[in-house]
Amino acid sequence: MTDINQKLDPPPYKIKVVEPIKKTTRKERKRLLEEAGYNFFNIAAENIYIDLLTDSGTSAMSDYQWAGLMLGDESYAQCKNFFNLQSVVQDITGYKFVIPTHQGRSAENLICYALNLDDTKVTVSNQFFDTTRANIEISGAKAYDFVIPEAFQPSLIHNFKGNLNTGALEDYIQNEGDVSLIVVTVTNNAGGGQPVSLANIIEVSRIAKMNKIPFFLDAARFAENAYFIKLREKEYQNNSPKEIASMMFSNSDGCMVSAKKDGLVNIGGFIALNDEQIYRRIKERMTVIEGFPTYGGLAGRDLEAIARGLTEVIREDYLEYRHQQLEYLGKGLEKGGVPFIKPVGGHSINLDVKSFLPNIPQSEFPAWALTIALYEYYGIRAAELGSVAFARKQDDGKWIFPELEQVRLAIPRRVYSQEHLNYVIDSVLDLYKHRADITGMKIVYDPGVLRHFTARFSPLG
């Protein structure tokens, strides 16, 4: 069994409600995989033993949040839960205007509209999350990623691998032209949940102000980012995570947030900002696509759950335990020499598949093959962030493969115990020992756009 002498204090909460999970046999899972066309999105969740597909919308809510659901005011306009949410968001972010949305991607869509993005516009980020990029690209605008180059060196230890390359940003503005929006994603999900330093946010803010460019945070994981700043940026070691979060927000013009992550809820999101003109534009569009601006596509009770989740996520004892869980998982994998993106991220461990399975070429989807093996042998579901999700076909028919081939083990918040993590560690170590048995995959049905959700595969060899 896993050596559990590593430090993992008991969680700062106890269990009041449980949800049974089911073990299946390898034989059953082989059949389920075959029926699912070797696509883990097609496997019924009840047949997953440990689900690490995402940390989004998968949090366990507290008794305080569940109690808040009973206080849902379902009035169409100006319900009291909106005011509760507004005051919590104002308290943490310092922004004047707060607009709930049904999740993060609708917040992104509204921002693109409000900023009049079109095919003459360029936007820049450390790394856009897929849905943010998709929303920008359907508006016609370009979306460029300017993350620091260290982000692409999996084994390199760097405190803030999510930082935006501010030199490249300044060069771009000077030599190429206008930028209409800067988004800093905290933490950087696409790069393994790596944090962005406050120094970097402040420098981006300076550049944005000088060039009059709106600067927004994609703040889905703002609390995890704030905690990394506390741990790794000396100047802020005596500040509370909440104070640090406030500083992150006060150095940007606004934020778009999927509350499904650090909101500790199963659905919801919001936008917060200071600019009244942009706020008005958002409200115009809002009423057409999301609902009246005080409910944003959510029930009053959902707004209450977010308001309460935000007050819990920013607590230092919660963040310390959350961080320790990820560190514990990382140390366990490290002991067996499993290659993953270093250092450990805020919400996930991303396996470095080019090193894990060096003999499988990207054209045979090694990261996908790894997720299938994790399910077949151990009942664990993870997410592929590799050549199935990110390879692109050029006009000349040639495939361009992503620089990093990753499998993400995302840890839902307040859901799994140390025993579950031990099981994950033992499973991945065992798989790593038997990695020579893993073969590549072939796509037998390719839907084209966002193919990872619906493609079908067969194993090679």
Q: Point out which residues bind ligand F0G (CB under 6 A).
A: 54, 56, 103-105, 129, 131-132, 185, 189, 218, 220, 258, 260, 269
Amino acid, single-letter form, for residue 208: A
* Cβ 219 to ligand F0G shortest distance, Å: 9
Token pair belonging to 431: 């798989």
Encoded amino acid at 241, one letter: P
Catalytic residue among 51, 218, 253, 262: 218
CA-nearest of 246, 100, 256, 286 to 181 is 256
Q: What are phi and psi of 215, to 5 degrees?
A: -125, 115
Nearer to ligand F0G, 203 or 262 (CB): 262
Active-site position among 9, 63, 76, 171: 76
Which residue lies nearer to ligand F0G by CB, 54 or 422? 54
Task: Mark residue 251 as left, alpha or beta (left: phi above 0; alpha: psi -120 to 50; beta: remaining).
Answer: alpha
Residue 236 Cβ vs ligand F0G, minimum distance, rounded to whole Å: 22
Distance CA 20, CA 8 (A): 24
407 DSSP 8-state letter: E
Measured from the CB atom, the residue of 58 and 418 that comes closer to ligand F0G is: 58
Q: To the nearest whole angstrom, how small is the minimum distance from the Cβ of residue 341 to ligand F0G? A: 15
DSSP track, 243-282: HHHHHHHHTSSEEEEETTTTT-SSS-EEEEES-HHHHHHH
Q: What's the CA gap between 259 and 257, in Å, rounded?
A: 6
Beta strands 392-393 and 456-459, pairing class: unpaired
Q: Which of 218, 233 has the CB closer to ligand F0G?
A: 218
Strand pairing report for 97-101 and 269-273: antiparallel
By beta-carbon proximity to ligand F0G, the closer residue of 2 and 126 is: 126
Cβ neighbors of 31 (< 8 A, separation 6 or more) are none
Instruction: Establish whether 218 is a catalytic residue.
Output: yes
Quick check: 194 and 188 in contact, CB under 8 A? yes
Per the annotation, the verdict on 129 as an active-site residue is yes
What's the min distance (Å) between Cβ of 439 and ligand F0G?
27
Which of the residues 38, 129, 279, 457 is marked catalytic? 129
Q: Active site residue: 13, 41, 130, 391, which one?
A: 130
Instruction: Please confirm, yes or no, whether 228 is among the known catalytic residues.
Output: no
Nearer to ligand F0G, 298 or 438 (CB): 298
Residue of 121, 260, 261, 420 with catalytic role: 261
Closest to 259 (Cα-Cα) out of 242, 271, 251: 271
Q: Is 270 a catalytic residue?
A: no
Q: How many CA atoms lie within 13 A of 81 on its CB side?
A: 25
CB-based closest residue to ligand F0G: 104
- The backbone torsions φ and ψ at residue 177, rounded to the nearest 5 degrees and listed phi first, read 135, -165
Catalytic residue among 161, 260, 354, 452: 452
In the bound state with ligand F0G, the residue whose beta carbon lies nearer, of 268 and 440, is 268
CB count within 10 Å of CB 152 equals: 14
Q: By C-beta, is 24 or 131 nearer to ligand F0G?
A: 131
129 or 249, CB closer to ligand F0G? 129
Q: For tokens 């506390």, name the residue.
A: 230
Name residue, tokens 């009423």. 287
- Short-list 153, 57, 127, 50, CA closest to 371: 50
**Minimum CB–partner distance for residue 127 and ligand F0G (Å):** 9
**How many whole angstroms separate alpha carbon 415 and alpha carbon 61?**
9
- Of 308, 316, 352, 313, the C-alpha closest to 334 is 352
State the pairing for strand pair 348-352/97-101: unpaired
Residue with tokens 């499998």: 407
For residue 452, indicate whether it is catalytic.
yes
Please count the other Cβ atoms lying within 10 Å of the Cβ belonging to residue 194.
32
- Residues annotated as part of the active site: 76, 129-130, 218, 220, 261, 452
